Amino acid sequence: MTQVFIISAPSGSGKSTLVTAIKQLVDRLDFSVSYTTRPPRGSEENGREYYYTSREVFERMIARGEFLEYADVFGNYYGTAKKFRDDAITRGHDLLLDIDVQGASQLQSGLPDAVSIFILPPNKQELEKRLRRRSSAERMTDEAIIKRRLETATREIEKYTEYDYILVNDQLGDSIEALKAIILTERLRAAGRQPTRADEQTLAELAHSRKLENVRPTLGPILDSFRKTTV
């Protein structure tokens, strides 16, 4: 049975780096590249970060019912095509979906068995540093864009309670290991198996430590940093 994993995060939280790493570490895991109507940035390539298309083409795809989910974000469409799930099912693979909170909410309604993972930055100050570094690399140092992304992050982070797992992406290596543990442990669960081997039990313990109910009591300082006035 194909297991669907939804991963969401505010812009600049390191989600793309995590996804790139996990694709190399976990076999039989397909990754859905979203469609968007926004133009490529910096060194982005069609078919790698996104499939770039026109608004007219995207809206025709909507009319034909070709998306699992889609959303209009900052005046651009983003969407996940159904064909990626169909292809994963055909191959007997699981599917990892990189989706913002709007799209994740749609998918969670339509795919209640999907496993959802939210990536948090360690605090607002660190997120701002990451956004500035990325914006500089993309040659987009407009303060209004950085401010808008921080404001959006503040709204998105309030949705963390709608996810099954929470990863605070402070140390990248730790976050990669935790994401791997979640995926492999949920595979066992979906297959109706208990973690019996020592390595499976270790992964299950790590995954369990990142469950929403276990992480939630520790998130106060992170949430407070975003509830202060956004720059």
- pLDDT tens across 24-61, in order? 999 999 999 999 999 987 778 898 889 999 999 999 99
- How many angstroms separate the Cα of 45 from the Cα of each of 35, 110, 230? 12, 30, 32
- How many angstroms separate the Cα of 158 from the Cα of each of 10, 142, 224? 11, 25, 11
> In angstroms, how far is the first alpha carbon of the chain from the final one?
46
Q: Is 27 exposed, middle or buried (0-12, 13-18, 19+ CB in 10 A)?
A: exposed
Q: How many CB atoms lie within 10 A of CB 66?
A: 16
160 pLDDT above the threshold of 90: yes
| Residue 230 confidence (pLDDT) | 46
Torsion angles phi and psi, residue 28, rounded to 5: 50, 40
Q: 4-227, which class in CATH?
A: alpha beta
Q: Of all residues in the chain, what percent carry a pLDDT higher than 90? A: 70
In the chain, where the domains are located: 4-227
| Residue 1 confidence (pLDDT) | 81
pTM for this entry: 0.90
d(Cα 68, Cα 7) in Å, to the nearest integer?
A: 15
Segment 170-199 mean pLDDT: 96
| Residue 231 confidence (pLDDT) | 44
Q: pLDDT class for 138, splitting at 50, 70, 90?
A: low
- 186: helix, strand or coil: helix
- Tens-place pLDDT, residues 3-13: 999 999 998 88
- Tens-place pLDDT, residues 75-132: 899 999 999 999 999 999 999 998 888 888 888 888 889 999 999 999 999 999 988 8
Give the alpha-carbon dihedral of 152, 153, 156, 160, to 10 degrees: -170
64 pLDDT above the threshold of 70: yes
